[in-house]
Amino acid sequence: MSFRERAIISLLLISISGMTLFDLGTDLKQGGDWWHVTVEGFVALVALVGVYFLLRGTFRLKQSLLQEKAVSTQFRDESQRWREESQKYIEGLSQAIDQQLNKWGLSPSEKEVAFLLIKGFSLKEIAEIRKTAEKTTRAQATAIYAKAGLSGRSQLAAFFLEDLLMPHAKE
């Protein structure tokens, strides 16, 4: 429920409560039945409780959104710092991967697909990024694996990333 919807519902409930309290006041002046006055008082109270819960929920939602925004900003800043700090290593790794792809004799299109596969994109996502058919992307991926002598995507990623992610065990 959006903030605007919550505000409209709150205003409607406040209006209902106000009109009910007004009617309650006139009923009391005219000597209305106790059960009628009690029911109207209960209706006004229920409407005000509804307003309370709507406003409380809105406040909690706003606080939650602010916290999530702060966390998101923190992650984005941390990611940016990591990229800046490791840029020379990333460029070196990218060049080393490019050299290996050249050694395997990949075409420029196959190299582009290989980089996207290593980044973890699905074949469908790669096809969308490159504006090609998924069938074409699948065929290029198969050609990459064949030229590299690998069995699939996981071996392709492991070929380049395995030694980076785990410390070498000294034998």
pLDDT in tens, 53-101: 888 888 898 899 999 999 999 999 999 998 888 888 888 888 889 999 9
Radius of gyration of the chain from its Cα atoms, rounded to whole angstroms: 32
pLDDT in tens, 155-166: 999 898 876 766
pLDDT class of 169 with cuts at 50, 70, 90: low
Question: DSSP assignment, residue 167?
Answer: P
Q: What is the largest CA-CA distance in the chain?
A: 98
pLDDT at 111: 95
Extract the tokens encoding 65.
């959104």
Domains of the chain: 3-85 (no CATH), 87-165 (3.40.50.2300)
Ranked by mean pLDDT, the top range of 20-29, 117-126, 154-163 is: 117-126
Alpha helices, DSSP H, located in the chain: 3-29, 34-85, 87-103, 108-119, 123-130, 134-148, 153-165
Mean pLDDT of the chain: 88
pLDDT in tens, 130-147: 999 999 999 999 999 999
